[in-house]
Each structure stands twice: as structure tokens, then as C-alpha cells.
Amino acid sequence: MSKLSETLSEKPPGNLTAREVARPAPLSPEFSLEQRRTLLRIAHQAILSALERQPLPEAPSLAGLSDPRGVFTTLYLHSDPPSRELRGCVGYALPIAPLHRAVAETARAAAFEDSRFLPVTREEALELEVSLSVLSRLFPIHPEAVEVGRHGLVIAHGARRGLLLPQVSVENGWDRETFLEQTCRKAGLPLDSWRKNSTIEAFTAEVFADADVEVPC
């Protein structure tokens, strides 16, 4: 597996208005049901094939999945008593690989290389729920233009960089200011760094999971 990496984008030009830098999210889904099923299946196959010491899944013949895209793969495990526990999350913030390849690589990395968790076992792999967040390109945004639930954030200052997906703010019940502060925290920066000289970029994400398309492992 190639090393996961994120390259800092160029700092946005100064003196931009919110209207100039904020771009609306698509009003309709970008990916069809078949495309979603294929990408989720690739994620599962990538994890299972790693346990069997097999190569990554081959490129799908389905159109629309070979363009370079950023993507985050999140894994959940259902346990007894019933609960949904995070089991790993790894991604590419920037479009450095074809989407199908990025899904396969980040799925394997989430399963076996997320330092917060032990590697996924064969038994767990059969019970995993996969959620994919396919990202738009990063774009500069003013704090006042950030919309909770619509935008993900990347805040950077010097070598420090933090990223939070759009759904994180909703899951935690954060308002816009808290979302900005928590992205600074993720970067290891003071909570008020977003008010100062940090670079603030946003992205939108199309999020879908196994439960949405009824994909078997």
C-alpha cells in the first residue's frame, strides 16, 4: 500500500469576500446507487483481501469512479449490547489517486493502520460497517460562511493541520464557532487560531454507508 499523505494546498489570496470563496454544495447526489454499491464493495474487498495477503481489488468497469478524488473511509463495529463503535477512519483530503483506488487504500489503512486502534481481525472484518465520505476539492472560506452540516473544514498554520468532516459537527451538536475551534484543536492549535493567521479551507462531502444501499460484506 502506498503511504497515505495529504499535501497542503496553496494559501488562499487575501481580501476575499464570503461570496467569492464559498461555493454551494451540489443539490443532487453525484453518485448513483450502483456506483455507491461498487465503492462500498471495494472497501470491504480491500480489507478482506489484505487478511488473505491478496492484492487490492481490480479497477471497476463502472464509469465515473476513476477520477482523482479525496475520500475518507470510516469503519464501525456493532457490538453486544447493541452499539455502534468507531473502528477506524483514514482518508485522503486531496485528490491524489483515482477514487476506486483511494477507497481501497483508505479502507485498508482504516482497518490496519489507524494508530488509535488494534488492527481489525478476520472475525471483525465480517461485521464491519463502512461509511465513505467523497470530498469535493478544498476551497478557501471565511469563518462567517461556514455552514454546519454542509462544510467540512481544514485549518492550518505552519506545519500544523487539522481536518474534520462535515458530519462531525452535526454528530456532536456543535455550532459554527465550536466547529472552527474543534478543527483548531485537531490541528494542535489554540482554539482561537481561526480568528488569527490560520488558513481556513472548506469542502463538501457526499456521505453514504452500507446501511444506505444494503451492501453485504
DSSP state of 98: B
> Are residues 160 and 124 part of one domain?
no
User: Does residue 8 sit within a domain?
Assistant: no
> Are residues 108 and 71 part of one domain?
yes
Among 86, 107, 135, where does a domain finish? 135
Q: What's the pLDDT score for residue 188?
A: 96
Residue pair 121/60 in contact (Cβ under 8 Å)? The answer is: no
User: Does residue 176 sit within a domain?
Assistant: yes
Q: Which residues touch 1 (CB under 8 Å, ≥6 apart)? A: 56, 105, 108, 109
> Are residues 150 and 93 part of one domain?
no
Give 185-198 as a DSSP string.
Answer: HHTT--TTGGGTT-
User: Does residue 216 sit within a domain?
Assistant: no
Q: What's the pLDDT score for residue 144?
A: 96
Residue 200 cell numbers, joined? 481556513
User: Does residue 186 sit within a domain?
Assistant: yes
Q: What's the pLDDT score for residue 10?
A: 28
> Are residues 124 and 179 part of one domain?
no
Among 110, 135, 160, where does a domain finish? 135
Number of domains in the chain: 2
Q: Indicate the residue type of 8.
A: L
Q: What's the pLDDT score for residue 80?
A: 65
> Are residues 155 and 196 part of one domain?
yes
Residue owning grid cell 494546498: 9
User: Does residue 210 sit within a domain?
Assistant: no
> Are residues 142 and 50 part of one domain?
no
User: Does residue 10 sit within a domain?
Assistant: no
> Any idea what the CATH number is for the domain that residue 41 is in?
3.30.700.20
User: Does residue 82 sit within a domain?
Assistant: yes
Q: What's the pLDDT score for residue 19?
A: 37
> Are residues 93 and 147 part of one domain?
no
Q: Indicate the residue type of 145.
A: A
> Are residues 129 and 58 part of one domain?
yes
User: Does residue 12 sit within a domain?
Assistant: no
Alpha-carbon distance 92 to 72, whole Å?
6
> Are residues 131 and 42 part of one domain?
yes
Mean pLDDT in consecutive groups of 10 residues from the start of the chain, 217 residues = 35 36 56 95 96 89 90 88 84 93 97 96 95 94 96 96 93 96 96 95 94 68
Please state the φ and ψ torsions of residue 38, each to the nearest 5 degrees: -65, -45
Q: What's the pLDDT score for residue 84?
A: 80
Among 135, 152, 180, where does a domain finish? 135
Q: What's the pLDDT score for residue 213?
A: 83
pLDDT in tens, 173-189: 999 999 999 999 999 99
Rg (CA), the chain: 18
Range of the domain at 50: 31-135
> Are residues 41 and 131 part of one domain?
yes
Q: What's the pLDDT score for residue 82?
A: 66
> Are residues 100 and 149 part of one domain?
no
> Are residues 149 and 84 part of one domain?
no
Q: What's the pLDDT score for residue 91?
A: 94
> Any idea what the CATH number is for the domain that residue 199 is in?
3.30.1490.150
